[in-house]
Amino acid sequence: MAATPPVCDFGWPAPGFTLPATDGRILSLQDIAGPKGTLVMFICNHCPYVLAVIDRIVRDARDLQKIGIGVAAISSNDVTAYPADSFEKMGELAKKHGFPFPYLYDESQDVARAYGAACTPDFFGFDAGLGLQYRGRLDASRNKAGPADLRRDLYEAMVQVAETGQGPRDQIPSMGCSIKWKAA
């Protein structure tokens, strides 16, 4: 089922976390934070919205890292119900697509809850002080990649955050598959 997250709550403080990464490290928010800002993405392995743009996510992450933005992706889906999102499969996806950022596993789903993550992909762009400045889409793609020349909404917003500390006031929410929550 498609889901859309709420609009950006400017200045909202990034919740801390410490999670295992597919490369064997245990990383905290402080470990991934960049000097000019930080991008935390909630993604997963099986979502068609993520898979449609995974190469663009990797491209934008690389470009943002070059300007001092720290980047990490987190998968929080229930792997019992969605085995394609298992930690082992996460490692395979990261390797296949050459993720330049850590891919973290939120097994308890506590981090997704703390962030209010609604869908995959869900992008949280923070300034250098870890205040939220962007909660919008990657680009106008949906569950199929749009044309290659689409405006790079996420990239352009995070460049603005790196340069000014402020995100754009007009943001279009991301859209994707809902987070797959564990049964209560």
129 CB neighbour count, 10 Å cutoff: 13
| Helices 153-164 and 48-66: angle between axes, nearest 10 degrees | 30
Task: Give residue 100's domain range.
Answer: 2-178
Q: Indicate whether 2 pLDDT > 80.
A: no
For residue 183, tell me if it sits in a domain: no
CATH assignment at residue 113: 3.40.30.10
For residue 134, tell me if it sits in a domain: yes
Exposure class string for 3-40: b at 16+ Cβ within 10 A, else e: bebeebeeebebeebebbbbeeeebebeebbbebbbbb
Structure tokens at 138: 């990657």
Between strands 69-75 and 37-42, the pairing is: parallel
Q: Which whole number is the average pLDDT over 102-129?
A: 98
20-47 pLDDT, tens per residue?
Answer: 999 999 999 999 999 999 999 999 999 9
- Specify the number of domains making up the chain: 1
40-95 pLDDT, tens per residue?
Answer: 999 999 999 999 999 999 999 999 999 999 999 999 999 999 999 999 999 999 99
